[in-house]
Amino acid sequence: MERKELSKDDSLILKGLAILAILLHNLFRWIEPYTGENEFGFSHDFVYRFGELLASQPQEFINIIFSYLGHFGVQVFIFLSGYGLTKSMLAKPTSWTVFMGNRLKKIYPLLLIAIACYVLFSWAVDNYLPTGNDKSSIVYKLLFIHTMMPYEGTSICGPWWFFGLIMQLYILFPILLNLSQKYGPKILILTTIASYVWFLTAFLCYDHYSLLAVWNAPGHLPEFCFGIWLALRGNVVLSRWWLLPAFVVFALGNFFAPLYPFTFLAATIIILICYNTVSQFFIRHDFLKNPLLFFGSISMYLFAIHGFMRKHFADFAVSHGNAAITLLTVLVFIVAVVAVSLIIRPLYKLIIQSLDRIRINIKPKTDKAFKTATLSFIAVIALYFIASPLQNYHDIELNQNQTTKKCRFTTDNNIEPDTQFSDILRIKLGLCGMVKMEFDAEFDTHECEEGHIPMLITDINHIYWGAFNLPKTDGFQKVHFERTIYSGFFDWIRNKKFNIYVWNNDGASMKFRNAEVKISCQKWGRKSLDKHTN
């Protein structure tokens, strides 16, 4: 078999293909027909819907394919990071602290520019400036801790979750490479196995932690280790015999939950084998090669700024509901994000040139101290997530019957079409890591139209916003809801405000009575339920 390493052009072409897939996915996922995707969670309903939509609306195949599969472009970037960092470190070895300093010098300016663009875009287009909660979310992202907080990973701008993940992989990379060079590829295999054990345990036993696993290193170490292994191997040409088992795992992982965590690595293998098969075709045809090289060269700017620009384009496409208008909107969206990327690229390069003048010289003892402190900190956070499900509960009951003065009603216990939402309960919580909400009430939604059923909303300081769809009833029927809400390592240390209210979805009407709420706080930190507040 011919030995082959990824050239610079190969990497740029792969990045170009990956970023286009991500751009299309993140726009199409907001435009009908929706498929859903198994990116941060699993549902076999999505793959059934994918097949049904392709069969019933083949003219929408571009939307459907990228809506469901486009997010796997992220796996390409993770793989290329492991591969490229390994090649770079083998050519020019550096200490852990110097390596991390160089990574921070490259990623931090990009994140700062992206945040500045978000603020300017929100102010210029939406006449909106970040509120207190948004400011907190920005700070979490600047500290790269947002993916360690259950409801912050995709706040403000969804794609920015990747910044937290890639920083964790940077921290682990020199250690993985050093151990792999010393003990062989078995280190990468053991790391991959440990990652899957953590991911599967979180996903199958504690569903709330599966999201944290996907946002963080445990969910994507296998693709990263795969890139390191191929770089050390010196050959990215995989036998085509790998394609069949990879495809089988990928296909089954879309139908069966226990195999879902393996779909990311399987998709990476499929993409790489397919690229190796057609790479010469791309390279020989400039009309394909040159655009992909261009998109690959600006991929990091496109990734950083497209997330907060997509909503207005998606809203425009949805409001017109026409396939031709949708495709035209997509083209304009791509042109717009490319234009902004080209504007910010010179600024980014200027900052990088200035930072490159800063030389990092660290003594071995200092380097070891920095590395030990960082890894110890990550270990403490990991232990928090592992230990949290094992904590006991401290149950405190609070019953609050609905009264007119607590709600925004036109009549007692009614939600009319001109009412936006109705308060049911607002309380203050002390320091806690887990809150369990149980809600009982009698609802009558017989006047509601299908698709316009009001929703019950739970909200803790905007770190979590979750909805329960109320069932359609004829006459008053008892309804019971439960939801457990988890605070991340960096969030349980502050007091919280807990709210429950009914949102009037698209002008619905509804009656309810005898609302009763039970709040349970986890034994983690100080436990308290303070008095009811308006």
527 band by pLDDT with thresholds 50, 70 and 90 = very low
**Mean pLDDT, the chain, as a whole number?**
82
User: Does residue 199 contact residue 260 with C-beta atoms inside 8 Å?
Assistant: no
Amino acid identity at 206: Y
pLDDT at 504: 65
Distance of CA 456 to the CA centre of its chain: 24
Q: Which fold has domain 391-532?
A: Jelly Rolls (2.60.120)
398 band by pLDDT with thresholds 50, 70 and 90 = very low
Report pLDDT digits (tens) over 427-450: 777 666 677 777 877 888 777 776
- Which one is predicted more confidently, 178 or 413? 178
Helix axes 8-28, 286-297, angle to 10 degrees: 80
Please give the model's pTM, rounded to 2 decimal places.
0.83
- Res 350 pLDDT > 90: yes
Which residue in this structure is represented by tokens 């390069």? 349
pLDDT at 394: 41
Which residue in this structure is represented by tokens 């931090």? 108
403 band by pLDDT with thresholds 50, 70 and 90 = very low
Q: Where are the domains of the chain?
A: 8-387, 391-532
Average pLDDT over residues 327-344: 96
387 band by pLDDT with thresholds 50, 70 and 90 = low
225 band by pLDDT with thresholds 50, 70 and 90 = very high
Question: What distance in Å separates the CA atoms of residue 432 and residue 521, rounded to the nearest whole number?
Answer: 6
Report pLDDT digits (tens) over 467-478: 777 777 788 888
- Which one is predicted more confidently, 69 or 443? 69
Report pLDDT digits (tens) over 85-135: 999 999 999 888 889 989 999 999 999 999 999 999 999 988 888 876 788
Question: What distance in Å separates the CA atoms of residue 274 and residue 343, rounded to the nearest whole number?
Answer: 34
- Res 451 pLDDT > 70: no
Would you call 2 helix, strand, or coil by DSSP?
A: coil
